[in-house]
């Protein structure tokens, strides 16, 4: 599977699926990953700080779900954060967690954002790109709403690169995780979707190529936990591409 022939899942199906598991999403994330997911989000927040500095004026967290990356960003940076997602029940949980913090919530489709061009200094997305119906269009939208030289940081599951480890991970992801996730959430489809979508999703190099095609500059990536996840990043081009595609 290359980035050129990859097409993502149907948006409405994804929206309904996350609505159905929102009440168990956080618990299952931490339980099934043995809380490694927290370390990955902290790594993403630190990467934003490295690329955009400790005080970028504005930061947008897309596909924010229940808001854990937005909270990590708030802990690592002094910035005004907007958390955005198109799934109302996920955002309801995020709102509950944000409490009185200054994080703003905007319900919106990441493929058609309600923000003007060049609005943000940094845009993040954790475990969202794989869920977008059209990941290339999603990256173009990110580029569009970033200020010139604003930073994009994308955290996503990827392809393990260590021998043997990749087989152990594959066994856990295919055989154990769907059973546990299905029983605890009461939705076996959603936790079968997770390994299926990760398997279908392009590898590190192809995501990098997708970023470049969406006209990001100074792109790069770093494997996390031996490539189970990866952080990708890039800077917005001076003249953002049309978000409508090539």
Ligand X SMILES: C[S@@+](CC[C@H](N)C(=O)[O-])C[C@H]1O[C@@H](n2cnc3c(N)ncnc32)[C@H](O)[C@@H]1O
- Could you say whether residue 68 binds ligand X (CB under 6 A)? yes
Cα(17)–Cα(41) distance, rounded to whole angstroms?
22
Please identify, using beta-carbon distances, which residue of 20 and 241 lies nearer to ligand X: 20
- Could you say whether residue 107 binds ligand X (CB under 6 A)? no
- Could you say whether residue 110 binds ligand X (CB under 6 A)? yes
Please identify, using beta-carbon distances, which residue of 130 and 147 lies nearer to ligand X: 130
- Could you say whether residue 131 binds ligand X (CB under 6 A)? yes
Please identify, using beta-carbon distances, which residue of 109 and 170 lies nearer to ligand X: 109
- Could you say whether residue 87 binds ligand X (CB under 6 A)? yes
The residue range among 60-68, 158-166, 217-225, 229-237 that interacts with ligand X, by the rule CB under 6 A, is 60-68
Please identify, using beta-carbon distances, which residue of 91 and 208 lies nearer to ligand X: 91
Residue with tokens 């690592």, as numbered in its chain: 76
Please identify, using beta-carbon distances, which residue of 93 and 213 lies nearer to ligand X: 93
Closest CB 145 distance from ligand X, rounded Å: 13
DSSP codes, the chain = --TTT-----HHHHHHHHHHHHHHHHHHHHHHTTTHHHHHHHHHHHHHHHHH-S--SEEEEET-TTSHHHHHHHHH--SEEEEEES-HHHHHHHHHHHTTSS-EEEE--TTS-SS-TT-EEEEEEES-GGGSS-HHHHHHHHHHHEEEEEEEEEEEE----STTHHHHHHHIIIIIHHHHHHHHHS-HHHHHHHHHHHHHS--HHHHHHHHHHTTEEEEEEEEEGGGTEEEEEEEE-SSPPPTT--
Judge contact between 47 and 73, C-beta under 8 A: no
For ligand X, the binding residue among 47, 49, 65, 229 (CB under 6 A) is 65
Cα(130)–Cα(156) distance, rounded to whole angstroms?
7
For ligand X, the binding residue among 45, 132, 190, 210 (CB under 6 A) is 132
- Could you say whether residue 233 binds ligand X (CB under 6 A)? no
- Could you say whether residue 18 binds ligand X (CB under 6 A)? yes
Closest CB 164 distance from ligand X, rounded Å: 27
- Could you say whether residue 158 binds ligand X (CB under 6 A)? no
Q: What is the largest CA-CA distance in the chain?
A: 48
For ligand X, the binding residue among 80, 93, 109, 213 (CB under 6 A) is 109
Q: Which residues bind ligand X (CB under 6 A)?
A: 11, 14-15, 18, 29, 63-65, 68-69, 85-87, 90, 109-111, 126-128, 131-132
């Amino acid at each position: 599977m290359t980035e050129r022939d990859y097409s993502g899942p149907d948006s409405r199906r994804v929206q309904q699926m996350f609505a159905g598991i929102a009440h168990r999403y956080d618990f299952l994330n931490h339980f099934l990953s043995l809380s490694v997911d927290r370390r990955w989000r902290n790594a993403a927040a630190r990467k934003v700080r490295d690329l955009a500095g400790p005080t970028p004026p504005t930061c947008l967290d897309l596909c924010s779900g229940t808001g854990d990356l937005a909270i990590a960003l708030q802990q690592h940076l002094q910035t005004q954060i907007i958390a955005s997602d198109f799934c109302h029940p996920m955002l309801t949980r995020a709102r509950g967690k944000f409490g009185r913090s200054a994080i703003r919530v905007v319900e919106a489709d990441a493929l058609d954002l309600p923000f003007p061009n060049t609005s943000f200094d940094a845009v993040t997305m954790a475990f969202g790109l794989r869920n977008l119906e059209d990941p290339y269009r999603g990256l173009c939208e990110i580029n569009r709403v970033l200020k010139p030289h604003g930073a994009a940081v994308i955290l996503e599951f990827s392809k393990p690169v260590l021998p043997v480890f990749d087989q152990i991970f594959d066994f856990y992801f295919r055989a154990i995780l769907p059973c546990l996730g299905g029983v605890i959430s009461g939705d076996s489809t959603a936790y079968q979707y997770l390994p299926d979508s990760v398997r279908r999703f392009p590898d590190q190099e192809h995501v990098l190529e997708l970023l470049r095609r969406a006209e990001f500059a100074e792109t790069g990536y770093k494997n996390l936990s031996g490539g189970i996840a990866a952080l990708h990043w890039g800077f917005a081009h001076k003249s953002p591409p049309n978000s409508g595609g090539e």
